Amino acid sequence: MKGRLIALGHVNEIEVAALMVDGRLDDLIFETDAPTPGTIYRATAGRPIKGQGGMFMNTPDGMGFLRQVKGVAPGDTLLVQVTGYAEPSKAVPVTQKLLFKSRYAIITPSAPGINISRAIKDDDIRDSLLEIAHAEMEGSAMGLILRSSCAEADADEIAQDINQMLDLATAIIDDSMAQEIEKLIDGDTPHTIAWREWTSPATVVSDPGALADHGILDQIDALRQAKAPLSGGAFMFIEPTRALTAVDVNTGADTSPAAGMKANLAAAKELPRQLRLRGIGGQITLDLAPMNKKDRRQFENTLRAAFRLDPVESALVGWTPLGHFEVQRKRDRVGLNEVPI
C-alpha cells in the first residue's frame, strides 16, 4: 500500500500504535507497565549522589534520578516529570523542567515566552499563529511553543489545544504545595502519542484485525531477529547487551572494492529506523564494514542526515581508536524485547 497508514490496536491486551509508510513499518509504540515519559509526580528528594551531580527522588512508582539539583535539599518536595525509560535495575530519569505537550502546543512553565517551530517558514502563517498565541496566553507567565503541525491546522483547534494544555499546566503547578508524594498525571498512551506526533496526512485504521491485516505483526516478528537486511544484499546485526548495543555491518556476497562503503552507507540510512522500531536507546557502537579513512566524512554526513529525520534525540559521538563509531541515544521507547507479544 502506497502512502501513510496509522494502525491502532491491541496485541495480548497491550495497546499498540504503528505507522506504515508505503507498506513498510516506520514507527512503533507499545504500552508498558513502566513509568511512561511525560508522567508527572509530586516527589520528595532523597540523598544526593556524589560525583554524579544528581539526587534520588522518592515517587509512588519507585526511585527516580534527578540531575541539576542545585538548591534542592534532602526532604524537599517538588514536581518532577519522567523523561525516558530507565535502564534495567536503575532509577527512572526525571526533570524539574515540566513540559505539557499536545498536538499543536507545548506549555513550558519554567521557560516563559512564545515560540513558533522553525519548520514553519511562511511569514503570514507565523504572524497569524502569534496572534492566536498572544490571545490565548494573555495573563499567563508560562511559556508556549507552537509545533510544526500548526501550519495546516484550524485556528480554533489550535486555540482550544493551547487552552487545554494551559489549564492542565496551571492545575498541576497549583497542586505543588502539598507535601505527600503522588502521581499527578500519567504519560500519554500509544494511541494518544500517535495522534500527537504523527500529524502528517494518513489513513487511520482501528478495527480489531488492523495490525494483522496490514502485515504489521509479521514485520514486528522480523524485528525480533538480530539480523536486519540492507540494500544490495548487505545486512547488519543489531544486538543489545547489558552495557551497550552492538551493530555489526556486513557486505554479504558483494566482494567488490566498494562493497564496504556501500554497506556502510546503507546501514547509515537504515539505522535510525531500526533503532526506533526496536526501542533501542543508550550507548550504541557500530562495527562497520571495511572502508578507507577518507570515506569516513561521507559516512558521517549520511548518518547525520538520517538521524536528523528521526524523532528520538541522538548524539553522534564519533570514532573510537579501534575504528568503531559511537552513538548515544535517548531511552524514550520501551525495548521490543521487553514487550510480551
pLDDT digits (tens, 9 = 90+) for 24-73: 999 999 999 889 999 999 999 998 887 777 999 999 999 999 998 888 99
Q: Same domain, yes or no, for 70 and 116?
A: no
The pairing of strands 4-11 and 227-229 is unpaired
- What per-residue confidence (pLDDT) applies to 231? 93
**Domain-located, residue 294:** yes
List the strands of the sheet with 143-146, edge to edge: 100-101, 105-108, 143-146, 113-116
Average pLDDT on 116-126 reads 96
**Domain-located, residue 52:** yes
**Domain-located, residue 231:** yes
Average pLDDT on 147-176 reads 95
Q: Same domain, yes or no, for 104 and 75?
A: no
Q: Same domain, yes or no, for 121 and 62?
A: no
- What per-residue confidence (pLDDT) applies to 290? 95
**Domain-located, residue 205:** no
Indicate the pLDDT class of residue 155, thresholds 50, 70 and 90: very high
Q: Same domain, yes or no, for 165 and 258?
A: no
Q: Is the pLDDT of residue 89 over 90?
A: no
CA 92/CA 84 separation, integer angstroms: 7
CATH code for position 115: 3.30.230.10
Lowest-pLDDT range, 67-71, 147-151, 248-252, 310-314? 67-71
Phi (first) and psi of residue 269, to 5 degrees = -70, -35
When divided into structural domains, the chain yields a total of 3
310-329 confidence digits (pLDDT tens): 999 999 999 999 999 999 99
- Read off the pTM: 0.92
- What per-residue confidence (pLDDT) applies to 251? 95
Q: Same domain, yes or no, for 53 and 141?
A: no
**Domain-located, residue 215:** no
Q: In terms of residue numbers, what domain contains 236?
A: 225-338
- What per-residue confidence (pLDDT) applies to 177? 75
Q: Same domain, yes or no, for 66 and 169?
A: no
Q: Same domain, yes or no, for 297 and 267?
A: yes
Rounded percentage of the chain residues whose pLDDT exceeds 90: 84
Instruction: Give the Cα-Cα-Cα angle 221, 192, 131 (nearest 5 degrees).
Output: 140
CA distances from 325 to 28, 265, 286 (A): 26, 13, 5
Domain end: 97, 126, 145, which one?
97
